[in-house]
Homo-oligomer: A and B are copies of this chain.
Amino acid sequence: MTTSKRTRVPRAKAQEIILNAAEELFYQEGIHAVSVDAIVERAGLNKMSVYRQFSSKSDLILAYMQKKQTVFWQEWEQSMAKHPDQPREQLIQFFADLAAKASSPEFRGCCFINVSIEFPDTAHPVRELVCTHQKRISDAFLERTTALGAANPCELAYTLMLLMEGTYADSQTYGTDSAAIRMVPTIVEKLLDASPRE
């Protein structure tokens, strides 16, 4: 009989592995539907390794959301960087990139909206995170509709918010096959060009 050494994973590495496992499962299957044991199994680690890094499942959920938030803004910056100082092109690009992502089979919509639905209590910490996140997006839109010289930048920014959230929602029901999502970049382009300037 072979007496195999136990493989040991250091603190920092374990945290990363657990968060990655949690991210995949939470996003794909929903938070309530995923047990800590499932995360442990996917991570290939031990249950205690989880509870030594995160004090509770809630803690892990919050860390997951924070990670998602970071990733969102990284991707946002990538989209923006394709057309520096060109708000019209930046906005269209954002929706083009969103549509591309939404057409991927592993896409499961907006994790911020998803978590809002799973946690109806608006006082819950994750809900506050979602709220500030959405507000930040709204501001980023407004910044650009203003730069565009739109006569009603606020209304235009809100319209973009609705279109974005609609795109996320639509991907849930139609998945890869959404005609609406395919049209979104065009819709936004026409919307921007049709909206009156001051």
Contact = CB atoms under 8 A, between A and B. Distances in A.
A120 B134 contact: no
A110 to B, nearest CB: 8
A83 B176 CA distance: 36
A108 interface: yes
A138 to B, nearest CB: 8
A173 B32 contact: no
B120 A108 contact: yes
A28 to B, nearest CB: 6
Contact of A30 (B32, B161, B183): B32
Contacts of A172: 113, 116-117
A118 B116 contact: no
B116 A155 contact: no
Interface residues of A, number: 45
Contacts of A166: 161-166, 169
The complex is assembled from copies of this chain, and their number is 2
Nearest to A33: B32
- Say whether chain A's binding surface is mostly helix, strand, loop, or mixed: helix
Nearest to A133: B173
B173 A187 contact: no
Interface in A142-180: 154-155, 158-159, 161-170, 172-175, 179-180
A118 B158 contact: no
Contact of A165 (B33, B134, B169): B169
A122 to B, nearest CB: 7
Contacts of A184: 162
A30 B187 contact: no
A131 interface: yes
Interface of A: 28-30, 32-33, 108-110, 112-114, 116-118, 120, 122, 130-131, 134, 154-155, 158-159, 161-170, 172-175, 179-180, 183-184, 186-187, 191, 194
5 contacts: A112-B173, A116-B173, A117-B117, A130-B173, A154-B179
